[in-house]
A and B are shown apart, each in its own frame.
Chain A
Amino acid sequence: MPPLQLTLEGDTDVLVTRKFNATPENVYRAHLEPELICQWMAAWPGWTMPACETDSREGGAFRFEFDGGEEGAFTTTGEYITLTPSSLIVHVERMHMPDPAPDSHVCTTFEASGTGTLLTLKMSLPDAESRQGMMDMGAADGMELSYAKLDEIMS
């Protein structure tokens, strides 16, 4: 499985690409069906999703609750803007900590690639305030800057 790629695009976008050994239909479904979402969307080890509700229609809302025990908890809510089965999800989301952070606009595309799927996620850069919130949540320890790594993600 090729590693995840992260690049900056334009003035305000972060682009994430990743390949999966599954059909676009399945990868798309795994992004919309609560019983599938709750198995993977909590990003950190030890975190769970006690609540996961999606109204997967254009204009429909979703609500995800994440619980990290002693590490904290937060809720993400959002709305689906565009849903094209097996190929495109456009949505807005915001974290509540507990005050809502500004909306983040996310566009996820699913393309057949060989026998698998290429997923591309384009996220508008959150503004400084929401980045701050994400950093608070993300516990980014003072990592040593590595130009090689930067080169890799910027290339």
Chain B
Amino acid sequence: MDKSTNQNLDKVFSALSDSTRRAILMKLTNGDVGVMDLAAPFDMSQPAISRHIKVLETAGLVTRHRQGTHRMCRLAPDALGEIEPWLSMIADRYRNKYDRLDVVLEAMTPTIQGDE
């Protein structure tokens, strides 16, 4: 990974840190959606949704294009490709560690649990 990729990864993480933006992204995994239609399920103004879309666009996660009179949003190809391995690696690392910890804990003398 070069430096520019890493800088973009920071943008991606930041973009994904918001639940509305994650929901928009998930919606787009089923295909292109109009900008107006994207706002529908959210209790949010159109400008607010547009700002979220802008953040996703800046992070390289979505692209916008015109289809007739409609402005459409599309998931950028391989948009999440670079963040996913990183998160997977973290998850794998802890999964492995904690599976081994299970074994260690089993061998420890059980301590009395208080009445629950």
> Chain B residue with minimal CB distance to A29?
B108
Residue contact B91 to A153, C-beta cutoff 8 Å? yes
Residue contact A6 to B90, C-beta cutoff 8 Å? yes
Chain A min CB distance to B93 (Å): 5
Interface size on B, residues (CB 8 A): 43
> Chain B residue with minimal CB distance to A115?
B113
Residue contact A6 to B100, C-beta cutoff 8 Å? no
User: Taking A11-B14, A23-B113, A132-B6 as contacts, is the C-beta distance between A143 and B88 under 8 angstroms?
Assistant: yes
Chain B min CB distance to A47 (Å): 9
Judge whether B44 is part of the interface by a CB distance below 8 angstroms: no
User: Taking A14-B90, A125-B13, A154-B22 as contacts, is the C-beta distance between A21 and B85 under 8 angstroms?
Assistant: no
Residue contact B105 to A128, C-beta cutoff 8 Å? no
Instruction: Say which residue of A14, A112, A135 sits within 8 Å of B85 (CB atoms).
Output: A135
Residue contact B110 to A16, C-beta cutoff 8 Å? no
Judge whether B96 is part of the interface by a CB distance below 8 angstroms: yes
Residue contact B104 to A30, C-beta cutoff 8 Å? yes
Instruction: Say which residue of A10, A140, A141 sits within 8 Å of B86 (CB atoms).
Output: A140
Q: Which residues of B contact A39 (CB under 8 A)?
A: 100, 103-104
Residue contact A6 to B91, C-beta cutoff 8 Å? yes
Residue contact B105 to A11, C-beta cutoff 8 Å? no
Q: Which residues of B contact A45 (CB under 8 A)?
A: 96
Residue contact A145 to B84, C-beta cutoff 8 Å? yes
Residue contact B113 to A4, C-beta cutoff 8 Å? no
Instruction: Say which residue of A112, A115, A150 sits within 8 Å of B84 (CB atoms).
Output: A150
- List the interface of chain A (C-beta within 8 A of B): 1, 3-4, 6, 8-12, 14, 16, 18, 20-23, 25-27, 29-30, 36, 39-45, 112, 114-115, 119, 121, 123, 125, 127-129, 131-132, 134-135, 138, 140-143, 145-147, 149-151, 153-154
> Chain B residue with minimal CB distance to A44?
B96
Q: How far, in whole Å, are A61 and B78 apart by their CA atoms in the complex?
A: 42
Residue contact B6 to A21, C-beta cutoff 8 Å? no
Residue contact A131 to B9, C-beta cutoff 8 Å? yes
User: Taking A112-B116, A149-B84 as contacts, is the C-beta distance between A40 and B90 under 8 angstroms?
Assistant: no
Residue contact A128 to B104, C-beta cutoff 8 Å? no
User: Taking A30-B108, A128-B7, A129-B6 as contacts, is the C-beta distance between A43 and B103 under 8 angstroms?
Assistant: no
Residue contact B105 to A20, C-beta cutoff 8 Å? yes
Instruction: Say which residue of A21, A43, A153, A154 sits within 8 Å of B105 (CB atoms).
Output: A21
Q: How far, in whole Å, are A145 and B77 apart by their CA atoms in the complex?
A: 11
Judge whether B16 is part of the interface by a CB distance below 8 angstroms: yes
